[in-house]
Chains A and B, each alone.
Chain A
Amino acid sequence: MNFFGIFIGIATLFVIGLGFVWVIRGERYFGYLWWPYVMGLGILLVVGSLFLANDWASGMVGAIGASLVWGSTEFKEQAVRAELGWFPFREKKILPPGAGTIKKWPAPHL
């Protein structure tokens, strides 16, 4: 019996659960235009996981990277949710470098 997969599955559930928290807080204070940076960091983590020999470390870094990529696609809808009053709205955002350019790109959502 190999319990590795079930344990990493349960750990991933907590990583995804944490995703709800940072997407909500991150959008509130920083705004959805950070999405390319979050997506890029997630992809870097997934690539980095290839170079970790330990299965637990590789698996968790990969799952955290995937959660960052998914979260980056949730930012835009979260910004709309806050505007609708479903979450607290904060007008002042700490914008990312290149915010003007990023705004012209279609923000991903799945």
Chain B
Amino acid sequence: MSMMELNVTGLAAALAAFLGIWWGHVAVRIIEARLTDIRPAMIIAVLLGLGMWTGALLTSWMPLSAALGIFGVTLLWDGYEFYRQEKRIKIGHAPANPHNPRHARILAAYPSATTVDLLNRDPVGRPVDAEEAARLVAEH
């Protein structure tokens, strides 16, 4: 194979995987925080994923088939992540949005739920208790 015949299948797979994971993470966090009912978003994510998979089946160009197949799988997973994100809100591993009535109900029902993003800081290299964890985020 000469330099002129680079195989872009791997590059297409890499971009689809990286962007699919990144945008999926960001989109699930933003959308879950705003929706009063997550079920429509779950259904849309699954339908979009299946649409991508249909495209992957119908194209004969391998780089595009790989990218659509990988985007499809990340979207199908995002459908499940809406449910997992709501669970993170309940246990305080992701910040609740008090302006969202669904999150407000979670904040009222689950003592572990919080509006603070406890991950938004640099590591300090030792275990921290709840009080220090909140202070470190506030100082960040």
Contact = CB atoms under 8 A, between A and B. Distances in A.
Interface of A: 1-10, 12-13, 15-16, 32, 46, 48-55, 57-63, 65-67, 69-70, 76-77, 79-86, 89, 91, 107, 110
Contacts of A67: 17
A89 B21 contact: no
Interface of B: 1, 5-15, 17-18, 21-22, 25-26, 53, 56-60, 62, 64-73, 77, 93, 118-119, 121-128, 133
Contact of B14 (A49, A51, A52): A49
Residue with the highest number of chain B CB atoms closer than 10 Å, among A2, A4, A9: A9
B87 to A, nearest CB: 13
Contact of A5 (B8, B57, B118): B57
B73 A55 contact: no
A89 to B, nearest CB: 5
A52 B69 contact: no
Please provide the 8 A-B residue pairs with the shortest distance between their CB atoms, ordered closest to farther.
A49-B10, A62-B10, A5-B69, A5-B56, A9-B69, A5-B65, A58-B10, A79-B123
A54 B7 CA distance: 8
